[in-house]
Amino acid sequence: MRYMKFMVLLFLGYLPLMAFAEEGSSTYDRVSLGVSAGREVENDTLVALLYYQRQGRNTAEVADRVNRAIAWGVEQARQVEGVKIQTLDYQTYPVYEDGKLTGIWRVRQSLRLESRRVSTLSQLLGELQEKLAIQHIGYRLSDERRREAEDALTERAISRFRHKAMLVAQQFGASDFRIVSINISSSGSHGRPMPMMRVMGAMESKTAAAPVLEAGEQRVQVGIDGVVELVRE
């Protein structure tokens, strides 16, 4: 009986050694590699955030003015083809002075516009400034253009990875390599904000000049990290 227990304990102690040996052999001649490919891509989508804000003691009256102004902005934007419209946060809060309530309420709502027709949206923004204020304008890549850039860069990065892996294999005296694991990732900012703050005062009687805008570029990059195993004849 004692002999059997001894053999069982001996076998259990041998298992980790077997696992270690197998693991050691499976990681033989493995090399970690990393490459990347990137390029500058011109932004093609303009995003603008506008708002209307009013304050007063009669919250219903103030809210009505804000609602009418935003409704006017939405209606103006709907008349322009290719512009995506989204109303955002609606805020109503009391105004404090020296830590005390003043009895005045402030109401504010924002409007987000997006379009790939940059010149068209720029002109619309000039018209909307008759009543609304511009909070900020920013550029970004459309999903379509970003996918096109990433697809092309992925092909380039994979080619570089294979070339680098073969170069490493040859330098270490191996004839080829096999891929053990690989990870492909992409990066790039989604917009370049351009603050254009403006104080809401009396409503202008005519439209403002359209903002002068330059789309600029942003860098899109694809990286590949992987592990290859050298193959020897």
Task: Supply the pLDDT for residue 13.
Answer: 53
pLDDT of 57 > 60? The answer is yes
Three-state SS across 174-199?
Answer: CCEEEEEEEEEEEECCCCEEEECCCC
Is the residue at 172 inside a domain? no
pLDDT of 195 > 50? The answer is no
Task: Supply the pLDDT for residue 191.
Answer: 47
Residue 80 carries which DSSP code? S
**Rounded CA separation 167/197 (Å):** 54
Is the residue at 93 inside a domain? yes
* Top mean-pLDDT range of 91-105, 115-129, 150-164, 208-222: 150-164
Residue 111 in tokens? 């409007």
Is the residue at 117 inside a domain? yes
Domain span holding position 121: 46-140+193-208
**Under the phi-then-psi rule, with left for phi > 0, alpha for psi from -120 to 50, and beta for the rest, what region is 123?**
alpha
Is the residue at 186 inside a domain? no
Q: What are phi and psi of 159, to 5 degrees?
A: -60, -40
- Name the more confident of 149 and 203: 149
Q: Per-residue confidence at 83, pLDDT binned at 50, 70, 90? A: very high
Is the residue at 232 inside a domain? no
Domain count, the chain: 1
Average pLDDT over residues 35-47: 93
The radius of gyration of the chain from alpha carbons, rounded to an integer in Å, stands at 31
| pTM of the complete model beyond 0.75 | no
Tokens 């697809």 belong to residue: 151
Is the residue at 169 inside a domain? no
Is the residue at 97 inside a domain? yes
**Under the phi-then-psi rule, with left for phi > 0, alpha for psi from -120 to 50, and beta for the rest, what region is 230?**
beta
Average pLDDT over residues 73-93: 94
Q: How many CA atoms lie within 13 A of 22 on its CB side?
A: 6
pLDDT tens column, 119-173: 899 999 999 999 999 998 988 888 999 999 999 999 999 999 999 999 999 999 9
Task: Supply the pLDDT for residue 102.
Answer: 87
- Give the SS3 label for residue 16: helix
**Rounded CA separation 140/199 (Å):** 26
Mean of per-residue pLDDT scores for the chain: 83
CATH number where 128 lies: 3.30.70
Is the residue at 54 inside a domain? yes
Q: How far is CA 34 from CA 74, 123, 185, 186, in A?
A: 49, 46, 11, 13
